[in-house]
Amino acid sequence: MNILKLVMSLMLGLQLLLIPNQASAEAPDSKDYYLIELSKFGIYNDGTHPVETTKGINNALQWAVKNGKTTTSLPPGTYLIDKANRINMVSNMVFDLPMDAVLKKETNDKESYQLMYLGYGVHNVTLRGGTYVGDRETHNYSKKDNKHSSGTHEAGYGIFTQGAYDITIDGVKSINFTGDGLILGGYGTMAKDLYEDHFVLGAFDDKGKNVANAKKLRTKQPLNFTNTIFKTEKQFELSNAIKLPYKFDIFFYKANGAFIKKLVNVKVRELIDIPEGATQFHLVFEQATKKGAYVEFWNKSVTKNVVVKNSEFAYNRRQGITVGGADQVLIENNVLHHIKGTMPQSGIDVEGGFGENGHRNSNITIKSNKFHDNASYDVILYDGKDAIVEDNHLASKGAIGLAISDPFKGAMIKGNHFDGSRIAAAHDATFIDNKMNDSYTSFTGPNIKIDGMTFTDSMFLISAKDAFGVSASNIVMNNNKKSDSGLSLWGKPIRLKNITINGEGKLRVVTGGITEGSIIDNLKVTGFNTDSGLTLPPATYNNCEFIGAAGTGKFGSIAISQAGKYVFDGCSFQSPPALSTLVIAEHPKLDLTIKNSTFELLGNSQAISIQSAKNLLLENNTITAEKLTSDKTEIVRINDYWKRNNPHDVLKAVIRGNTITTNLAAIGITTLYAGTGAPAYLIENNTLYTAKLVQKKNDILKNNSIKKK
| Tens digits of residue pLDDT in 530-583 | 999 999 999 999 999 999 999 888 999 999 999 999 999 999 999 999 999 999
What is the band of 4 on the pLDDT scale with cuts at 50, 70, 90? very low
- Strand 312-314 to 93-96 pairing: unpaired
Residue 566 neighbours by CB distance under 10 Å:
22
- pLDDT computed for residue 8 by the predictor: 37
- Asked if the model's pLDDT at residue 277 lies above 50, the reply is yes
Looking at residue 58, what DSSP letter applies? Answer: H
Q: Over the stretch 75-107, which tens digit does the pLDDT of each residue have?
A: 999 999 999 999 999 999 999 999 999 999 999
Q: Write down the pLDDT at residue 47.
A: 98
What's residue 23's pLDDT?
A: 35
Whether the Cβ atoms of residue 457 and residue 483 lie closer than 8 Å to each other: yes
Determine what percent of the chain falls in helix, strand and coil, rounding each to the nearest 5.
Answer: 5, 50, 45
- Dihedral (CA of 54, 58, 64, 70) sign: positive
Please name each of the domains of the chain with its CATH number. 2-186 (2.160.20.10), 190-301 (2.60.120)
Q: How far apart are CA 268 and CA 218, in angstroms?
A: 15
Contact indicator for 348, 381 with CB cutoff of 8 Å? no
Please report the pLDDT score of residue 384 as a whole number: 98
pLDDT, mean of residues 289-310: 98
* Best CA proximity match to 582, nearest among 561, 544, 556: 556
Average pLDDT, the chain: 95
- Full-model pTM: 0.93
Q: Quick one: pLDDT at residue 26?
A: 55
Task: List, for residues 453-506, the tens digit of each pLDDT value.
Answer: 999 999 999 999 999 999 999 999 999 999 999 999 999 999 999 999 999 999
- Asked if 130 and 173 count as a contact pair (C-beta separation under 8 A), the reply is yes
Percent of the chain topping pLDDT 90: 94
Mean pLDDT of 317-334: 99
**For residues 119 and 35, what is the distance between their CA atoms, to the nearest angstrom?**
24
Return the percentage of the chain with pLDDT > 70, whole number.
96
Q: Among 233-237, 256-260, 643-647, which stretch is predicted with the lowest mean pLDDT?
A: 643-647
How do 682-684 and 539-542 pair as beta strands? unpaired
Residue 163 — pLDDT band, cuts 50, 70, 90?
A: very high
The pLDDT value recorded for residue 27 is 60
- pLDDT tens digit string along 6-16? 333 433 343 33
